[in-house]
């Protein structure tokens, strides 16, 4: 994943990233050989990676409460992920996230879930 542009505001409580998944990436191999599309799990992982960069915390998903895929992503297409942290608990080591992947005005996927700082509440600095 190449992040073309990354913006955030509200003290890292929201953000937007424009990204491109290159045709050279391994996850396009075999998915599918003559009509490659990005596996949905890559979008889920990329969403968390973007939020981790913005919050500067090593996050991992603990719960995915809602994931809905509406359209496919092909290699080398620029897409946009917007997100909000709608609540935080335990000194911000547990974050509830709501995000959406878009291509222009076309919705690709919605992602909602809870992520935890991998360092834990005692290790966070």
pLDDT (tens place) for every residue of the chain, 125 residues total: 999 999 998 677 899 999 999 999 999 988 888 899 999 999 999 999 999 999 899 999 999 999 999 999 999 999 999 999 987 766 678 999 999 999 999 999 999 999 999 876 554 44
pTM: 0.89
Neighbouring residues of 99: CB distance < 8 A, sequence distance ≥ 6: 47, 51, 81, 82, 83, 84, 110, 111, 112
Superfamily classification of domain 2-123:
Hotdog Thioesterase (3.10.129.10)
């Amino acid at each position: 994943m190449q992040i073309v542009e990354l913006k955030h505001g509200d003290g890292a409580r929201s953000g937007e990233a424009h990204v491109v998944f290159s045709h050279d990436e391994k996850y396009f191999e075999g998915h599918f050989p003559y009509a490659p599309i990005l596996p949905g799990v890559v979008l889920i992982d990329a969403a968390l990676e973007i939020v981790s960069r913005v919050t500067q915390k090593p996050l991992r998903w603990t719960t995915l409460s809602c994931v809905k895929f509406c359209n496919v992503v092909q290699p080398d297409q620029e897409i946009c992920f917007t997100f909000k942290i709608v609540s935080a608990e335990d000194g911000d080591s547990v974050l509830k996230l709501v995000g959406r992947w878009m291509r222009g005005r076309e919705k690709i996927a919605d992602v909602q879930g809870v992520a935890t700082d991998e360092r834990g509440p005692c290790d966070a600095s």
